[in-house]
Structure 1
Amino acid sequence: MSRTILLWGGVILVVLAAAGFGGWLFSLPSATAAKAPPVPQAETDAVVASLRPTGRERPLIAVIGINDATETTDYLMPAGILRRADVADVVLLATGPGPVQLYPALKVEPEATIAEFDAAHPEGADYVIVPAMSRDDDPTAITWIRSQSEKGAKIIGVCAGAKVVAAAGLLDGKRATTHWYYLPEMLKRSPTTKYVANRRVVTDGNITTTTGISASMPMTLTLIEAIAGRPKADTVARDLALGQWDLRHASDAFKVTRPFAKTVLANRMAFWKSEELGIQLMPGMDEVSLALVADAWSRTYRSTVATFAASAQAVVTTNGIRIVPDRAMTNWPDGRSVTTFPDQRPAVVLDRTLEAIATRYGEPTTDVVAMQLEYPRPH
């Protein structure tokens, strides 16, 4: 998948609609409000229990990515939140040597290849986090994920990472969820999978899956609760400024609607208005906020994001993640740089970024971004 945005398949559909399939466009539903139903406490308790560590006293968590295209927030946010919680050892991995190009933005230096990890930890990880990837059937990733499961690791498929887990054969006959747009593909990969609606996080045995991109934050807090207890998870949630992070999810609120398709079509057709926006990388910056900002601005169908720093050397974030700048420069053209709101906490940063997108491109574009992030944006 290119560095543009997640729902490229949706772009093709709406362009076809403009070319003569207008009936399809008008057949789409209007935007609807949906309320997340409550989740029984017993179900929440069961999810937490299923994620409790069964191996090392201090768990080892591996986040795997393929080098050419792994989803930005899926890869960075769990690692950043887990490291700020300091309840486990977290390693960012790549299937091969060299940096991991994230999509739709950012480039990261991983800490090891999967081969190096296996040599250092032949017994395997306690948890493996699987982000969305451009290729669901990458043979190296699939083989490694399957082998980690066989060694006893708990596998967590974040967002469309569930498709990768399905391709590894680990969702057969299990309950699961995924990003709303990719649900049909997950079920095609694993027809016996039992889809569970209205849940951000679903566990079945040693497999956990989540809904769309923004669900990686509550998923990670749930994992922290399983490892270190509810008080620790609450402390981290307050540090993130995330007030509500339970399993509730309104699945019916996320779908291709007529406003969504019309906005995507209009933004794509106005290609001459597209712009490249810059994010300055600074040592010690918050990697969770950085991921959310870069991801959101890259999903407008009006803008792409590039990072810049004074040199081409990797910039180290507050929790030790090495971000490789796209450009070695000290300034970005006036009016075309965006902030990561360094004085704000990550959950607030996401809301502030969506407000900035609304100011620049309008509310309909902001709704398109929130829909892709599967983020229940308040209005």
Structure 2
Amino acid sequence: MLRLSFLFLLCSMLCPLPALAASPGTVEASPVGSIPPYQARLGRTQPVVAVVSHNAGTELSDFVVPYGILSRSGAAEVWALAPAAGPIVLHPTLKVEAQATLAQFDQRFPQGADYVIVPAVTKPDEPALLDWLKSQAGKGATIVSICDGALVVAQAGLFKGYRATGHWATQAQREKDFPDTVWLRDVRYVADRSRISSAGVSAAIPLSLALVEAIAGPARAAAVATEVGVKSWDSRHDSHRFRLGFGLYLTGALNYLFSRQQDIGLPVSPGVDEIALALSADAFSRTYRSRAYAVAATPGSVRTRHGLTLLPDRVRGTGEAPARVMADDRQTPSVQALDRTLQEIGTLYGADTARLVAVQLEYPWQP
């Protein structure tokens, strides 16, 4: 889900907000269940996964989290794609470069991908992207939407006659615009034949682990989950708990109207954990009081732990420095960086602002 606008906050003020659920406790990994095990095809030793984007605007965590988790698993050949060469502008912050264009990917893999992961983008009706998705589906790829990537897949007509889900905030819009799809609530992810979809932003985490489980089995998924700091990746969820009530509306409005935006510098260097970076930058940039920037020690691009080319926003010691520079903490497991960031937001701006961010990310968290 792209950053919620102030207008959206205004429109949401009448929606009640029950208390958020606590983070799930330790449970056994769910069986592959609703996500069928990968069936090898085309003579491949492992599946090819294409994580697509739109150069002009793609939701940061929707794009980076699946790329990072699947790459870390070693279970698939993962590609970060865009319609055109050059930077991908991520929202609400950061920029990366595509590893290949859609056309270049087609030249390398004329038989198509095994999985295509579709994040939320600023132009869900982009013809080039929609045509490419239709082509990939026609070649037998399983289409996977993250958050409001569901709007892109639905625009392509690829959810017609399927069950699917998406970010809580667009449930009514999806039901109105795409009545030929059964839009489910209260589920982190759902698979219906060759279509898989997830709820808002942070649901990319359990969905990505479920894909690892489908591809490489529960033992590998459990190992990756431990490495990134996740205890459970089943599909249980209560989407009704995520609403912007008057209290959080007021928090957002006051932050937006009366607070001076604070720059938060996130140090980056070769080998930076792209998952932790994405989750922290995403959260800090949704407070309506702060915006995160990638800050490098030297000019030039930075290669992340699993091969993304990050384009830092600033270089230390040149130009205007961020008002606050966070520590470069590589000891915290990737996903736990989000909890750490929400706690830091609560310390800096108050618990209500941290809850406002958690609701936007559809993340089950409490102070």
- TM-score of the two chains, using structure 2 as the length reference: 0.92
**Aligned residue for 2:337?**
349
CA distance in 2, matches of 1:308, 1:356: 19
Q: How many residues align?
A: 361
Q: Is the contact made by 2:255 and 2:289 (CA closer than 8 Å) also made in structure 1? A: yes
How far is 1:182 from its partner?
A: 1.7
How far is 1:52 from its partner?
A: 5.0
**Aligned residue for 1:20?**
none
Q: Is the contact made by 1:316 and 1:323 (CA closer than 8 Å) also made in structure 2? A: yes
The root-mean-square deviation of aligned C-alpha atoms, in Å, is: 2.3
Change (3 A) 1:341 1:101: same
How far is 1:205 from its partner?
A: 1.5
How far is 1:35 from its partner?
A: 8.7
Identity of aligned residues (%): 39
CA distance in 2, matches of 1:64, 1:135: 13
- TM-score of the two chains, using structure 1 as the length reference: 0.89
Deviations 1:162-183 (A, max 9, x none): 1100100011121111011122
How far is 1:312 from its partner?
A: 3.2
CA distance in 2, matches of 1:251, 1:351: 19
For the pair 1:7 / 2:4, whether they are aligned, the reply is yes
> Which residues of 2 match residues 1-379 of structure 1 at below 5 A?
6-8=3-5, 11-14=6-9, 25=13, 27-33=14-20, 45-49=32-36, 53-55=40-42, 56-271=44-259, 273-330=260-317, 333=321, 336-339=324-327, 341-379=329-367
Q: Is the contact made by 2:264 and 2:322 (CA closer than 8 Å) also made in structure 1? A: no
Relative to its length, the structure with more helix (as a share) is: 1
Q: Is the contact made by 2:268 and 2:328 (CA closer than 8 Å) also made in structure 1? A: no
Q: Is the contact made by 1:167 and 1:189 (CA closer than 8 Å) also made in structure 2? A: no
Higher relative contact order (CA 8 A, sep 6+): 2
How far is 1:190 from its partner?
A: 1.4
How far is 1:32 from its partner?
A: 3.4
Deviations 1:18-59 (A, max 9, x none): xxxxxx84x44243356999xxx9x95431326555553310
Deviations 1:266-308 (A, max 9, x none): 111114x212221121111111100011100000011112222
Q: Is the contact made by 1:53 and 1:226 (CA closer than 8 Å) also made in structure 2? A: no
Change (3 A) 1:118 1:268: same
CA distance in 1, matches of 2:40, 2:366: 35
Larger mean CA deviation between 254-263 and 168-177 belongs to 254-263
Q: Is the contact made by 2:23 and 2:365 (CA closer than 8 Å) also made in structure 1? A: no
Structure 1: runs of 5 or more not aligned = 18-23
